[in-house]
Amino acid sequence: MYAFDLERPTTLADAQAALKSDEAQPLSGGQTLIPTLKQRLAMPEKLVSLTAIAELQGITKEGDTLTIGGATCHADVAADGSYPALSALAGQIGDPHVRNRGTIGGSLANNDPSACYPSAALASGAAIVTDRREIASDDFFTGMFETALDEGEIVTSVRFPIPERAAYVKFDQPASRFALVGVFVAKTADGVRVAVTGASEGGVFRWAEAEAALSSDFSPAAIEGLTVPSDDMIGDIHGTKDYRAHLVGVITKRAVAAAG
Identify the domain boundary among 107, 137, 161: 161
| Mean pLDDT, residues 243-252 taken together | 98
| pLDDT range class, residue 176, cuts 50, 70, 90 | confident
Identify the domain boundary among 129, 161, 193: 161
In a domain, 244, yes or no: yes
For 46-94, the pLDDT digits (tens) are: 899 999 999 999 999 999 999 999 999 999 999 999 999 999 999 999 9
pLDDT given for residue 30 in this prediction: 74
Q: Determine which of 3-12, 122-131, 198-207 has the lowest per-residue pLDDT on average.
A: 3-12
Per the structure, how many domains does the chain have? 2
The domain containing residue 74 runs over which residues? Answer: 56-161
124 & 184 share domain: no
Q: Determine which of 111-120, 131-140, 170-179 has the lowest per-residue pLDDT on average.
A: 170-179
| Mean pLDDT, residues 93-110 taken together | 95
Check the CA dihedral 201-26-131-67 and report its sign. positive
Angle at 242 between CA 179 and CA 211, to 5 degrees: 65
* Cα–Cα dist 194/168, whole Å: 10
In a domain, 112, yes or no: yes
Contact 90, 75 (CB under 8 A): yes
| Mean pLDDT, residues 127-133 taken together | 98
Q: Determine which of 25-29, 112-116, 163-167 has the lowest per-residue pLDDT on average.
A: 25-29
In a domain, 11, yes or no: no
227 & 202 share domain: yes
Contact 34, 101 (CB under 8 A): no
In a domain, 21, yes or no: no
CATH for 87: 3.30.465.10
pLDDT given for residue 1 in this prediction: 59
Contact 206, 105 (CB under 8 A): no
CA nearest to 214, candidates 191, 246, 190 = 191
In a domain, 173, yes or no: yes
Of residues 178 and 185, more confidence is placed in: 185
Q: Give the E-state strand segments of 148-200 in sequence order.
A: 155-161, 165-172, 179-188, 191-197
pLDDT given for residue 142 in this prediction: 97
pLDDT given for residue 2 in this prediction: 67
